Amino acid sequence: MAIHFNAETRKGESAESIPAFFRVSALPRFRDRFDLIAPLRTVSRFTFCLLSAASVALAALPPEYAAICESFQTQNPKGWSFTQTTSAEGRTLVERYDAAQPEFSRWTLIEENGRAPTEEEARTYREKFTRRSRGGSAPAIASQLELPTAELVSEDAAQAVYRFRLKVEDEDDKTANFLRANVTFHKATHSITCFELASVEVFAPVFGVKIRELRTAIHYHLPTADRPALLDKVTTRTRGRAFFKSLDADMLVTYTDYTWAGKMPTAK
């Protein structure tokens, strides 16, 4: 049975990139997240890790960084094709996303656990997309961060790292107060090179579940003259238990072989 890590594309197709469980829009309720971090029955892991005890200082977020947060989305821009390789628990999955193909035909299973899929496995893989409706785009990260809570973690000539509290969406939100977002801003390109979510203490989001450590770190390539900032890799880590079952898990997702599927925008 194929492992399906890319939850965003399984929901629909706005997933030109980042799985839904890493999207900031997936943050508000832990019950939704917990469905994603349970062992391989749900494969996709929503994980974070304990933030280090680095000293931070309350600091107003500079306007240029606030503007980046207002426009930045965790997923790739539309129109880019890529190869996605996922590794977890000794298993690997290689998939190709072709942005030039029609909706529901854009993902192809290339390899699973070091071998090409059988005809039946490839067919089963393709059929999973025909039963899904199209999803929406992830919102800008500013909609999920409390920008006034910005804390300067570190800064040098090249970059600045700020930490934020997450917005509490409603009274059912059992996780936001236990998580922090670290955002790394690259000064020269006015872009984000890393978006990290991490727990700050042990917590029990639902009955029978104790999370000791949670972490997701999404890394981006720097933008260049001919392409925007694109996903580089996502690392995730979970340490915890659900009743007597371990939730310990680690996963790495890498994005390679980018190609542009449409016409490049004309320079103005």
Could you give the angle at the alpha carbon of 79 between the alpha carbons of 21 and 190, nearest 5°?
Answer: 75
Q: How confident is residue 264, by pLDDT bands cut at 50, 70 and 90?
A: low
Q: How confident is residue 118, by pLDDT bands cut at 50, 70 and 90?
A: very high
Output the pLDDT for position 2.
30
- Residues whose CB falls within 8 Å of the CB of residue 233, separated by 6 or more in sequence, listed in order: 219, 252, 253, 254, 255
Q: Give CA–CA dist 8/44, Å, rounded.
A: 10
Domain boundaries defined on the chain: 7-260
- The size of the chain, in residues, is 268
- The pair of structure tokens assigned to 63 is 């306007």
DSSP label at 62?
P
With b for 16 or more beta-carbon neighbours within 10 A and e for fewer, the 56-94 pattern comes to beeeebeeebeebbeebbbbbeebbbbbbbbebeeeebb
Output the pLDDT for position 21.
33
Does 146 have pLDDT greater than 90?
yes
Range of lowest pLDDT (125-129, 141-145, 241-245): 125-129
Would the pTM of this model clear 0.85, i.e. be above it? no
Q: Give CA–CA dist 190/180, Å, rounded.
A: 22
Q: How confident is residue 60, by pLDDT bands cut at 50, 70 and 90?
A: confident
For residue 55, the SS3 value is coil
CA trace torsion 25, 29, 30, 31 (10° rounding): -120
Segment 48-58, tens digit of pLDDT: 333 333 344 55
Output the pLDDT for position 38.
34
From the list 90, 112, 120, the residue with the least C-alpha distance to 4 is 112
Segment 24-43, tens digit of pLDDT: 333 223 333 333 333 322 22
Output the pLDDT for position 128.
82
